[in-house]
Copies of this chain bind each other. A is one copy, B any other.
Amino acid sequence: MFEAAELGRKLTKAEYRELEPVLREQLLLTQSALQKANIPLYILLEGADSTCKGEVVNLLNQWFDTRGLIVNGFGPKTDEEARRPRFWRYWRNFPSRGQIGVFYGTWYTGELIKRATGKQEKDEFDSHMQRIEQTETLLSLDGALILKFWLHTSESDLKKNLCNVLKAEGKGWVGAPADQHILKNYRRFIKAAERAVRLSDQVMAPWFLIEAGNDRYRNATLVRTVIETVQKRLGDLKETQQKHRRKSDKLLGNKLLLSDDATIKVLDQVDLTSSLEKKDYEKRLEELQSELNQLSWRAYHQGISMILVFEGWDAAGKGGAIRRIMQAVDARIARVISIAAPTDEEKSHHYLWRFWRHVPVAGRHTIYDRSWYGRVLVERVEGFASELEWRRAYSEINDFEEQIGARGNVLLKFWLHIDKDEQLERFKAREDIPYKNYKITDEDWRNRERWQDYENAVHDMVVRTSTDFAPWTLVAANSKHYARIRVLETVCEGLKKALDNAED
Protein backbone atom coordinates (compact mmCIF):
# COMPACT_ATOMS: atom_id res chain seq x y z
CA MET A 1 0.00 0.00 0.00
CA PHE A 2 2.77 2.42 0.91
CA GLU A 3 4.87 1.91 -2.22
CA ALA A 4 2.88 4.77 -3.73
CA ALA A 5 4.67 7.04 -1.31
CA GLU A 6 8.17 6.13 -2.39
CA LEU A 7 8.15 7.84 -5.77
CA GLY A 8 10.68 10.52 -4.87
CA ARG A 9 8.37 13.47 -5.28
CA LYS A 10 10.00 16.80 -4.44
CA LEU A 11 9.51 20.53 -4.42
CA THR A 12 12.43 22.82 -5.23
CA LYS A 13 13.29 25.66 -2.89
CA ALA A 14 12.00 28.15 -5.41
CA GLU A 15 8.69 26.33 -5.82
CA TYR A 16 8.27 26.12 -2.08
CA ARG A 17 9.12 29.79 -1.56
CA GLU A 18 6.37 30.69 -3.95
CA LEU A 19 3.81 28.36 -2.37
CA GLU A 20 4.47 29.14 1.28
CA PRO A 21 2.78 32.55 1.68
CA VAL A 22 -0.28 31.33 -0.21
CA LEU A 23 -0.61 28.20 1.90
CA ARG A 24 -0.10 30.09 5.15
CA GLU A 25 -2.75 32.63 4.32
CA GLN A 26 -5.19 29.94 3.22
CA LEU A 27 -4.48 27.93 6.36
CA LEU A 28 -5.29 30.88 8.60
CA LEU A 29 -8.48 31.57 6.69
CA THR A 30 -9.40 27.90 7.04
CA GLN A 31 -8.78 28.03 10.77
CA SER A 32 -10.99 31.04 11.21
CA ALA A 33 -13.75 29.44 9.09
CA LEU A 34 -13.61 26.38 11.36
CA GLN A 35 -13.93 28.58 14.40
CA LYS A 36 -16.91 30.34 12.97
CA ALA A 37 -18.55 27.05 12.05
CA ASN A 38 -17.81 25.79 15.57
CA ILE A 39 -16.28 22.58 14.26
CA PRO A 40 -13.45 20.72 15.99
CA LEU A 41 -10.60 19.58 13.74
CA TYR A 42 -8.41 16.60 14.56
CA ILE A 43 -5.09 16.28 12.74
CA LEU A 44 -3.40 12.96 13.40
CA LEU A 45 0.24 12.49 12.44
CA GLU A 46 1.53 8.96 12.13
CA GLY A 47 4.59 7.39 10.58
CA ALA A 48 7.81 5.61 11.36
CA ASP A 49 10.00 8.69 11.78
CA SER A 50 9.43 10.74 14.91
CA THR A 51 11.74 13.53 13.74
CA CYS A 52 9.57 13.91 10.69
CA LYS A 53 6.41 14.03 12.80
CA GLY A 54 8.10 16.56 15.05
CA GLU A 55 8.91 18.81 12.11
CA VAL A 56 5.32 18.77 10.94
CA VAL A 57 4.06 19.53 14.46
CA ASN A 58 6.35 22.54 14.59
CA LEU A 59 5.24 23.66 11.16
CA LEU A 60 1.57 23.51 12.10
CA ASN A 61 2.28 25.22 15.38
CA GLN A 62 3.86 28.11 13.51
CA TRP A 63 1.48 28.36 10.60
CA PHE A 64 -1.75 28.11 12.55
CA ASP A 65 -2.76 30.82 14.97
CA THR A 66 -1.91 29.29 18.35
CA ARG A 67 -5.17 30.51 19.82
CA GLY A 68 -7.41 27.48 19.86
CA LEU A 69 -4.62 25.14 18.76
CA ILE A 70 -3.69 22.26 21.04
CA VAL A 71 -0.76 19.97 20.42
CA ASN A 72 -0.91 16.53 22.04
CA GLY A 73 1.42 13.61 22.20
CA PHE A 74 0.75 10.44 24.11
CA GLY A 75 3.80 8.94 25.70
CA PRO A 76 3.80 6.38 28.49
CA LYS A 77 0.57 6.43 30.50
CA THR A 78 0.55 8.42 33.75
CA ASP A 79 -0.75 6.46 36.73
CA GLU A 80 -3.99 8.43 36.64
CA GLU A 81 -4.45 7.23 33.08
CA ALA A 82 -3.42 3.66 33.78
CA ARG A 83 -6.11 3.37 36.44
CA ARG A 84 -8.94 4.27 34.09
CA PRO A 85 -10.39 2.77 30.89
CA ARG A 86 -7.95 2.81 28.01
CA PHE A 87 -9.52 5.63 26.02
CA TRP A 88 -9.83 8.01 28.96
CA ARG A 89 -6.50 9.66 28.17
CA TYR A 90 -7.66 10.42 24.65
CA TRP A 91 -11.03 11.75 25.67
CA ARG A 92 -9.48 14.14 28.15
CA ASN A 93 -7.46 15.69 25.31
CA PHE A 94 -10.10 15.95 22.60
CA PRO A 95 -10.44 19.48 21.24
CA SER A 96 -13.68 21.34 21.83
CA ARG A 97 -15.79 22.81 19.04
CA GLY A 98 -13.83 25.41 17.07
CA GLN A 99 -10.49 24.16 18.38
CA ILE A 100 -7.81 22.30 16.46
CA GLY A 101 -6.11 19.31 18.05
CA VAL A 102 -2.82 18.19 16.53
CA PHE A 103 -1.86 14.70 17.64
CA TYR A 104 1.60 13.27 17.07
CA GLY A 105 1.62 10.06 18.93
CA THR A 106 -2.03 9.07 18.62
CA TRP A 107 -4.36 6.25 19.58
CA TYR A 108 -2.62 4.25 16.84
CA THR A 109 1.01 4.70 17.88
CA GLY A 110 1.30 2.37 20.84
CA GLU A 111 -0.63 -0.39 19.11
CA LEU A 112 1.53 -0.22 15.99
CA ILE A 113 4.70 -0.48 17.99
CA LYS A 114 3.37 -3.29 20.16
CA ARG A 115 2.29 -5.19 17.09
CA ALA A 116 5.58 -4.57 15.27
CA THR A 117 7.65 -5.75 18.20
CA GLY A 118 5.53 -8.85 18.64
CA LYS A 119 3.99 -7.70 21.93
CA GLN A 120 0.43 -7.85 20.68
CA GLU A 121 -1.63 -10.57 19.06
CA LYS A 122 -3.55 -9.87 15.90
CA ASP A 123 -6.93 -10.29 17.59
CA GLU A 124 -6.15 -7.76 20.26
CA PHE A 125 -4.80 -5.39 17.64
CA ASP A 126 -7.94 -5.74 15.55
CA SER A 127 -10.21 -5.22 18.49
CA HIS A 128 -8.33 -2.03 19.37
CA MET A 129 -8.73 -0.84 15.79
CA GLN A 130 -12.43 -1.52 16.02
CA ARG A 131 -12.67 0.54 19.20
CA ILE A 132 -10.82 3.36 17.42
CA GLU A 133 -13.23 3.15 14.54
CA GLN A 134 -16.20 3.41 16.90
CA THR A 135 -14.71 6.39 18.66
CA GLU A 136 -13.79 8.24 15.49
CA THR A 137 -17.23 7.58 14.05
CA LEU A 138 -18.90 8.90 17.16
CA LEU A 139 -16.84 12.08 17.01
CA SER A 140 -17.40 12.54 13.29
CA LEU A 141 -21.14 12.11 13.60
CA ASP A 142 -21.01 14.80 16.24
CA GLY A 143 -19.48 17.16 13.66
CA ALA A 144 -15.75 16.66 14.16
CA LEU A 145 -13.38 16.60 11.20
CA ILE A 146 -10.71 13.95 11.61
CA LEU A 147 -7.80 13.95 9.18
CA LYS A 148 -5.24 11.20 9.57
CA PHE A 149 -1.86 11.53 7.89
CA TRP A 150 0.53 8.72 7.30
CA LEU A 151 3.91 10.40 6.79
CA HIS A 152 5.73 7.73 4.90
CA THR A 153 9.49 7.35 5.25
CA SER A 154 11.23 4.54 3.41
CA GLU A 155 13.46 2.15 5.35
CA SER A 156 16.66 3.63 3.96
CA ASP A 157 15.56 7.21 4.66
CA LEU A 158 14.56 6.23 8.17
CA LYS A 159 18.00 4.77 8.79
CA LYS A 160 19.66 7.92 7.47
CA ASN A 161 17.48 10.25 9.54
CA LEU A 162 18.00 8.26 12.68
CA CYS A 163 21.77 8.40 12.25
CA ASN A 164 21.58 12.16 11.89
CA VAL A 165 19.55 12.45 15.06
CA LEU A 166 21.93 10.29 17.03
CA LYS A 167 24.86 12.31 15.73
CA ALA A 168 23.36 15.73 16.52
CA GLU A 169 24.28 16.40 20.10
CA GLY A 170 21.79 17.86 22.55
CA LYS A 171 18.86 17.12 20.29
CA GLY A 172 18.05 13.81 21.90
CA TRP A 173 14.27 13.77 21.60
CA VAL A 174 12.81 11.09 23.81
CA GLY A 175 11.14 9.49 20.80
CA ALA A 176 14.44 8.25 19.46
CA PRO A 177 14.40 4.86 21.25
CA ALA A 178 10.98 4.15 19.76
CA ASP A 179 12.39 4.95 16.33
CA GLN A 180 15.11 2.39 16.86
CA HIS A 181 12.55 -0.28 17.74
CA ILE A 182 10.64 0.62 14.62
CA LEU A 183 13.71 0.51 12.42
CA LYS A 184 14.63 -2.89 13.76
CA ASN A 185 11.14 -4.18 12.94
CA TYR A 186 10.49 -1.97 9.93
CA ARG A 187 8.71 -4.52 7.77
CA ARG A 188 6.42 -5.68 10.56
CA PHE A 189 5.73 -2.09 11.51
CA ILE A 190 4.69 -1.25 7.96
CA LYS A 191 2.55 -4.36 7.80
CA ALA A 192 0.78 -3.39 11.01
CA ALA A 193 0.34 0.13 9.68
CA GLU A 194 -1.20 -1.11 6.47
CA ARG A 195 -3.65 -3.18 8.43
CA ALA A 196 -4.46 -0.23 10.71
CA VAL A 197 -5.06 2.06 7.75
CA ARG A 198 -7.22 -0.53 6.07
CA LEU A 199 -9.34 -1.16 9.15
CA SER A 200 -9.77 2.49 10.06
CA ASP A 201 -9.97 4.33 6.77
CA GLN A 202 -13.43 5.82 6.78
CA VAL A 203 -15.25 8.42 4.73
CA MET A 204 -15.77 10.36 7.94
CA ALA A 205 -12.18 10.02 9.14
CA PRO A 206 -9.96 9.33 6.15
CA TRP A 207 -6.28 8.46 5.99
CA PHE A 208 -3.99 10.46 3.70
CA LEU A 209 -0.74 8.94 2.58
CA ILE A 210 1.99 11.59 2.36
CA GLU A 211 5.38 10.97 0.85
CA ALA A 212 7.76 12.38 3.44
CA GLY A 213 11.16 11.94 1.77
CA ASN A 214 11.36 15.62 0.81
CA ASP A 215 10.46 18.07 3.58
CA ARG A 216 9.15 20.76 1.28
CA TYR A 217 6.95 18.41 -0.67
CA ARG A 218 5.68 16.83 2.56
CA ASN A 219 4.82 20.17 4.18
CA ALA A 220 3.11 21.63 1.16
CA THR A 221 1.12 18.48 0.44
CA LEU A 222 -0.05 18.04 4.00
CA VAL A 223 -1.08 21.66 4.44
CA ARG A 224 -2.82 21.70 1.06
CA THR A 225 -4.71 18.56 2.01
CA VAL A 226 -5.84 20.13 5.27
CA ILE A 227 -7.03 23.26 3.50
CA GLU A 228 -8.82 21.46 0.70
CA THR A 229 -10.48 18.83 2.85
CA VAL A 230 -11.72 21.32 5.41
CA GLN A 231 -12.98 23.74 2.77
CA LYS A 232 -14.79 20.95 0.99
CA ARG A 233 -16.39 19.75 4.21
CA LEU A 234 -17.49 23.23 5.14
CA GLY A 235 -18.99 23.60 1.68
CA ASP A 236 -20.78 20.28 1.99
CA LEU A 237 -22.03 21.07 5.42
CA LYS A 238 -25.24 22.81 4.46
CA GLU A 239 -26.10 20.24 1.88
CA THR A 240 -25.40 17.40 4.29
CA GLN A 241 -27.52 18.93 6.96
CA GLN A 242 -30.41 19.07 4.58
CA LYS A 243 -29.88 15.47 3.56
CA HIS A 244 -29.75 14.41 7.18
CA ARG A 245 -32.98 16.15 7.82
CA ARG A 246 -34.65 14.29 4.99
CA LYS A 247 -33.25 10.98 6.15
CA SER A 248 -34.34 11.74 9.65
CA ASP A 249 -37.89 12.50 8.55
CA LYS A 250 -38.06 9.18 6.82
CA LEU A 251 -36.82 7.27 9.84
CA LEU A 252 -39.27 9.10 12.01
CA GLY A 253 -42.13 7.95 9.84
CA ASN A 254 -41.13 4.31 10.13
CA LYS A 255 -40.54 4.54 13.80
CA LEU A 256 -43.85 6.07 14.69
CA LEU A 257 -45.57 3.13 13.07
CA LEU A 258 -43.40 0.70 14.93
CA SER A 259 -43.98 2.36 18.27
CA ASP A 260 -47.71 2.27 17.76
CA ASP A 261 -47.56 -1.37 16.85
CA ALA A 262 -45.60 -2.48 19.86
CA THR A 263 -48.42 -2.60 22.32
CA ILE A 264 -46.63 -4.47 25.07
CA LYS A 265 -43.98 -2.32 26.72
CA VAL A 266 -41.32 -3.57 29.10
CA LEU A 267 -42.69 -1.38 31.86
CA ASP A 268 -46.07 -3.10 31.66
CA GLN A 269 -44.46 -6.22 33.00
CA VAL A 270 -43.37 -4.64 36.24
CA ASP A 271 -45.59 -5.80 39.09
CA LEU A 272 -46.32 -2.58 40.95
CA THR A 273 -48.20 -4.34 43.73
CA SER A 274 -44.96 -5.75 45.11
CA SER A 275 -44.43 -4.54 48.66
CA LEU A 276 -42.72 -5.38 51.92
CA GLU A 277 -43.70 -5.23 55.60
CA LYS A 278 -41.81 -2.65 57.64
CA LYS A 279 -40.42 -5.27 60.02
CA ASP A 280 -39.15 -7.48 57.18
CA TYR A 281 -37.76 -4.40 55.47
CA GLU A 282 -35.72 -3.30 58.45
CA LYS A 283 -34.26 -6.72 59.06
CA ARG A 284 -33.41 -7.30 55.42
CA LEU A 285 -32.00 -3.76 55.05
CA GLU A 286 -29.57 -4.32 57.88
CA GLU A 287 -28.42 -7.66 56.51
CA LEU A 288 -27.92 -6.35 53.00
CA GLN A 289 -26.15 -3.16 54.06
CA SER A 290 -23.74 -5.11 56.16
CA GLU A 291 -23.09 -7.47 53.25
CA LEU A 292 -22.65 -4.59 50.83
CA ASN A 293 -20.19 -2.90 53.15
CA GLN A 294 -17.97 -5.98 53.15
CA LEU A 295 -18.32 -6.54 49.42
CA SER A 296 -17.52 -2.93 48.53
CA TRP A 297 -14.32 -3.01 50.60
CA ARG A 298 -13.28 -6.29 49.02
CA ALA A 299 -13.89 -4.85 45.57
CA TYR A 300 -11.94 -1.73 46.48
CA HIS A 301 -8.94 -3.74 47.56
CA GLN A 302 -9.08 -5.73 44.33
CA GLY A 303 -9.32 -2.65 42.13
CA ILE A 304 -12.84 -3.54 41.00
CA SER A 305 -15.17 -0.59 40.55
CA MET A 306 -18.91 -0.70 41.07
CA ILE A 307 -20.78 1.66 38.79
CA LEU A 308 -24.48 2.10 39.44
CA VAL A 309 -26.86 4.08 37.27
CA PHE A 310 -30.19 5.28 38.60
CA GLU A 311 -32.95 6.45 36.30
CA GLY A 312 -36.67 6.55 36.97
CA TRP A 313 -39.78 8.69 37.09
CA ASP A 314 -39.62 11.91 39.09
CA ALA A 315 -40.28 11.09 42.75
CA ALA A 316 -39.78 7.37 42.14
CA GLY A 317 -37.36 7.24 45.07
CA LYS A 318 -33.95 7.34 43.39
CA GLY A 319 -32.51 9.52 46.15
CA GLY A 320 -33.78 7.24 48.89
CA ALA A 321 -32.44 4.12 47.24
CA ILE A 322 -29.06 5.77 46.68
CA ARG A 323 -28.93 6.89 50.31
CA ARG A 324 -29.51 3.31 51.49
CA ILE A 325 -26.51 2.27 49.43
CA MET A 326 -24.32 5.08 50.69
CA GLN A 327 -25.20 4.13 54.26
CA ALA A 328 -23.46 0.87 53.53
CA VAL A 329 -20.57 1.96 51.32
CA ASP A 330 -17.86 4.13 52.82
CA ALA A 331 -17.92 7.67 51.42
CA ARG A 332 -14.14 7.56 51.17
CA ILE A 333 -14.27 4.96 48.41
CA ALA A 334 -17.52 5.94 46.74
CA ARG A 335 -19.07 8.99 45.19
CA VAL A 336 -22.55 9.98 44.10
CA ILE A 337 -22.60 12.01 40.92
CA SER A 338 -25.81 13.92 40.31
CA ILE A 339 -26.26 14.87 36.72
CA ALA A 340 -27.48 18.41 36.21
CA ALA A 341 -27.35 20.62 33.12
CA PRO A 342 -23.98 20.52 31.31
CA THR A 343 -21.56 23.43 31.72
CA ASP A 344 -20.49 25.39 28.66
CA GLU A 345 -17.20 23.50 28.47
CA GLU A 346 -19.18 20.29 28.43
CA LYS A 347 -21.56 21.57 25.81
CA SER A 348 -18.66 22.30 23.51
CA HIS A 349 -17.72 18.62 23.35
CA HIS A 350 -19.42 15.37 22.41
CA TYR A 351 -22.21 14.66 24.92
CA LEU A 352 -20.34 11.67 26.35
CA TRP A 353 -17.28 13.80 27.13
CA ARG A 354 -18.64 14.97 30.44
CA PHE A 355 -19.11 11.39 31.57
CA TRP A 356 -15.68 10.33 30.38
CA ARG A 357 -14.29 13.28 32.25
CA HIS A 358 -15.37 11.91 35.61
CA VAL A 359 -14.79 8.21 35.03
CA PRO A 360 -13.55 6.98 38.41
CA VAL A 361 -10.22 5.27 38.94
CA ALA A 362 -10.08 1.52 39.43
CA GLY A 363 -11.50 0.40 42.78
CA ARG A 364 -13.59 3.51 43.45
CA HIS A 365 -17.36 3.13 43.34
CA THR A 366 -19.60 5.59 41.56
CA ILE A 367 -23.33 6.03 41.73
CA TYR A 368 -24.99 8.10 39.06
CA ASP A 369 -28.18 9.90 40.00
CA ARG A 370 -29.37 10.24 36.42
CA SER A 371 -26.80 9.68 33.72
CA TRP A 372 -25.88 9.57 30.04
CA TYR A 373 -29.33 8.09 29.46
CA GLY A 374 -30.61 11.67 29.48
CA ARG A 375 -29.70 11.58 25.79
CA VAL A 376 -32.35 8.98 24.99
CA LEU A 377 -34.87 10.11 27.62
CA VAL A 378 -35.33 13.82 28.25
CA GLU A 379 -33.32 14.94 25.22
CA ARG A 380 -35.34 12.66 22.97
CA VAL A 381 -38.70 13.55 24.44
CA GLU A 382 -38.05 17.29 24.61
CA GLY A 383 -36.44 17.34 21.16
CA PHE A 384 -33.06 18.63 22.44
CA ALA A 385 -31.41 15.85 20.46
CA SER A 386 -32.41 15.16 16.87
CA GLU A 387 -33.76 11.74 16.07
CA LEU A 388 -30.51 10.79 14.34
CA GLU A 389 -28.62 11.86 17.43
CA TRP A 390 -30.60 9.91 19.98
CA ARG A 391 -30.88 6.90 17.74
CA ARG A 392 -27.15 6.51 17.35
CA ALA A 393 -26.81 7.14 21.09
CA TYR A 394 -27.90 3.57 21.85
CA SER A 395 -24.84 2.02 20.30
CA GLU A 396 -22.59 4.86 21.48
CA ILE A 397 -23.77 4.21 25.02
CA ASN A 398 -23.30 0.46 24.66
CA ASP A 399 -19.70 1.05 23.51
CA PHE A 400 -19.09 3.49 26.34
CA GLU A 401 -20.43 1.10 28.93
CA GLU A 402 -18.41 -1.76 27.55
CA GLN A 403 -15.30 0.34 28.12
CA ILE A 404 -16.05 1.57 31.63
CA GLY A 405 -17.35 -1.86 32.61
CA ALA A 406 -14.17 -3.58 31.45
CA ARG A 407 -11.48 -5.05 33.74
CA GLY A 408 -14.01 -6.86 35.86
CA ASN A 409 -15.94 -3.75 36.92
CA VAL A 410 -19.60 -4.11 37.85
CA LEU A 411 -22.00 -1.91 35.95
CA LEU A 412 -25.67 -2.08 36.94
CA LYS A 413 -28.54 0.11 35.83
CA PHE A 414 -31.85 0.64 37.58
CA TRP A 415 -35.11 2.05 36.32
CA LEU A 416 -37.34 2.87 39.29
CA HIS A 417 -40.90 2.46 38.18
CA ILE A 418 -44.04 3.93 39.78
CA ASP A 419 -47.46 4.65 38.33
CA LYS A 420 -49.01 8.04 37.72
CA ASP A 421 -51.24 7.99 40.79
CA GLU A 422 -48.37 7.19 43.09
CA GLN A 423 -46.35 10.02 41.58
CA LEU A 424 -49.15 12.51 42.15
CA GLU A 425 -49.39 11.57 45.81
CA ARG A 426 -45.64 11.95 46.27
CA PHE A 427 -45.54 15.31 44.52
CA LYS A 428 -48.19 16.60 46.87
CA ALA A 429 -46.44 15.24 49.94
CA ARG A 430 -43.19 16.89 48.89
CA GLU A 431 -44.79 20.26 48.56
CA ASP A 432 -45.81 20.07 52.20
CA ILE A 433 -42.37 19.37 53.72
CA PRO A 434 -40.21 22.52 53.89
CA TYR A 435 -36.85 20.81 53.31
CA LYS A 436 -38.20 18.65 50.51
CA ASN A 437 -39.89 21.58 48.89
CA TYR A 438 -36.97 22.42 46.63
CA LYS A 439 -37.17 18.95 45.17
CA ILE A 440 -40.37 19.68 43.30
CA THR A 441 -40.36 22.13 40.42
CA ASP A 442 -42.59 23.21 37.55
CA GLU A 443 -40.50 20.99 35.33
CA ASP A 444 -41.61 17.93 37.28
CA TRP A 445 -45.22 18.80 36.58
CA ARG A 446 -44.46 19.38 32.92
CA ASN A 447 -42.64 16.04 32.57
CA ARG A 448 -45.68 14.35 34.02
CA GLU A 449 -47.76 15.48 31.09
CA ARG A 450 -45.48 13.61 28.70
CA TRP A 451 -45.79 10.30 30.54
CA GLN A 452 -46.62 8.32 27.41
CA ASP A 453 -43.65 9.75 25.47
CA TYR A 454 -41.34 8.87 28.31
CA GLU A 455 -42.80 5.39 28.51
CA ASN A 456 -41.96 4.83 24.85
CA ALA A 457 -38.47 6.19 25.38
CA VAL A 458 -37.90 3.96 28.40
CA HIS A 459 -39.07 0.94 26.45
CA ASP A 460 -36.62 1.57 23.61
CA MET A 461 -33.83 2.36 26.03
CA VAL A 462 -34.22 -0.86 28.00
CA VAL A 463 -34.55 -2.99 24.88
CA ARG A 464 -31.54 -1.47 23.15
CA THR A 465 -29.10 -1.03 26.01
CA SER A 466 -29.59 -4.11 28.16
CA THR A 467 -26.33 -5.95 27.63
CA ASP A 468 -24.70 -8.76 29.52
CA PHE A 469 -21.99 -6.39 30.75
CA ALA A 470 -24.47 -3.67 31.75
CA PRO A 471 -27.97 -5.04 32.40
CA TRP A 472 -31.03 -2.99 33.29
CA THR A 473 -33.10 -3.90 36.34
CA LEU A 474 -36.65 -2.61 36.31
CA VAL A 475 -37.66 -2.01 39.89
CA ALA A 476 -41.27 -1.88 41.10
CA ALA A 477 -41.12 1.22 43.30
CA ASN A 478 -44.68 1.98 44.38
CA SER A 479 -43.48 0.50 47.66
CA LYS A 480 -40.28 2.30 48.68
CA HIS A 481 -39.35 -0.52 51.02
CA TYR A 482 -39.67 -3.13 48.34
CA ALA A 483 -37.70 -1.03 45.83
CA ARG A 484 -34.77 -0.34 48.15
CA ILE A 485 -34.40 -3.99 49.06
CA ARG A 486 -34.64 -5.08 45.45
CA VAL A 487 -31.89 -2.61 44.51
CA LEU A 488 -29.63 -3.67 47.36
CA GLU A 489 -30.11 -7.34 46.55
CA THR A 490 -29.26 -6.77 42.91
CA VAL A 491 -26.15 -4.78 43.80
CA CYS A 492 -24.91 -7.39 46.28
CA GLU A 493 -25.51 -10.18 43.81
CA GLY A 494 -23.70 -8.34 41.01
CA LEU A 495 -20.74 -7.52 43.18
CA LYS A 496 -20.49 -11.04 44.53
CA LYS A 497 -20.49 -12.49 41.05
CA ALA A 498 -17.77 -10.11 39.91
CA LEU A 499 -15.63 -10.88 42.94
CA ASP A 500 -16.03 -14.61 42.41
CA ASN A 501 -14.99 -14.23 38.78
CA ALA A 502 -11.98 -12.13 39.76
CA GLU A 503 -10.86 -14.64 42.33
CA ASP A 504 -11.12 -17.60 39.96
Contacts and interface: CB of A to CB of B under 8 A. Distances in A.
A62 interface: yes
B25 A332 contact: no
Interface in A291-339: 293-294, 297-298, 301, 322-323, 326-327, 330-332, 335-336, 338
A293 B298 CA distance: 52
A446 interface: no
Interface stretch (A117-125, A242-250, A340-348): A340-348
A445 interface: no
Given A298-B170, A332-B104, A435-B29, A369 B66 contact: yes
A301 B340 CA distance: 44
Interface in A17-74: 25, 28-29, 32, 54, 57-58, 60-62, 66-71, 73
Contact of A67 (B79, B293, B369): B369
B54 A434 contact: no
A384 interface: no
Contact of A58 (B78, B330, B338, B343): B330
Contacts of A29: 434-435
A155 B297 CA distance: 27
Contact of A62 (B172, B301, B327, B338): B327
Nearest to A83: B78
A60 B297 CA distance: 20
A173 interface: yes
Contacts of A167: none
A171 interface: yes
A85 B332 CA distance: 25
Contact of A57 (B170, B322, B331): B331
Contacts of A294: 170
A66 B438 contact: no
A504 to B, nearest CB: 20
Size bracket, chain A contacts? 35 or more
A45 to B, nearest CB: 11
Contacts of A215: none
B170 A61 contact: no
Contact of A332 (B57, B171, B330, B343): B57
A431 interface: no
A80 interface: yes
A143 to B, nearest CB: 19
Interface string A276-302: 000000000000000001100110010
Contacts of A60: 331
Contact of A80 (B57, B70, B80, B336): B80
A78 B323 CA distance: 30
Interface string A414-457: 00000000000000000000110010000000000000000000
A57 B327 CA distance: 11
Nearest to A26: B435
28 contacts: A29-B435, A32-B435, A32-B438, A57-B330, A57-B332, A58-B327, A61-B326, A61-B331, A62-B327, A66-B322, A66-B336, A67-B338, A69-B336, A71-B335, A73-B332, A78-B79, A78-B80, A79-B79, A80-B80, A170-B294, A170-B298, A171-B297, A172-B301, A173-B330, A173-B332, A343-B343, A343-B344, A344-B344
Closest 8 CB pairs of A and B: A61-B331, A67-B338, A66-B336, A28-B435, A57-B331, A344-B344, A58-B331, A343-B345
Given A58-B331, A62-B327, A173-B330, 15 more contacts: A25-B434, A25-B435, A28-B435, A54-B332, A61-B331, A66-B322, A66-B336, A71-B332, A71-B335, A79-B80, A104-B332, A170-B297, A171-B293, A171-B297, A343-B344
